[in-house]
Amino acid sequence: SQQGEEDPQALSIQEGENATMNCSYKTSINNLQWYRQNSGRGLVHLILIRSNEREKHSGRLRVTLDTSKKSSSLLITASRAADTASYFCATDSNDYKLSFGAGTTVTVRA
């Protein structure tokens, strides 16, 4: 079973626009991570946010975490064609065994 659920399932935006996707999870976590996957290949680690953090930035990425609502969001600002990919949230409940959601497929149109 999958711990995280991403919303929306798919997102299509124009280059330069922002993309926001959400993740909800069910049990308590140690940290939450976001990954990108291009064309069904390997996962690339984007950002990790710990349970005692509320917001984190990395380049054009902004992640928020609300542990009271068991939810997180990933914002990609000023999107580029190269951002076209599937994005997954993954939760770690302090045992380093990641539990992934089904992902959000993002398409950035030129």
The residues of the shown chain that bind other proteins, judged by CB under 8 A, are 1-2, 4, 30-31, 33, 35, 40-45, 48, 88, 90, 92, 95-103
CB 14 within 8 A of CB 69: no
- For other proteins, give the closer residue by CB, 34 or 79: 34
- For other proteins, give the closer residue by CB, 35 or 71: 35
Nearest distance from residue 81's CB to other proteins, in Å?
Answer: 21
Phi-psi region of 81 (alpha: psi -120 to 50; beta: other; left: phi over 0): alpha
Nearest distance from residue 26's CB to other proteins, in Å?
Answer: 14
- For other proteins, give the closer residue by CB, 40 or 68: 40
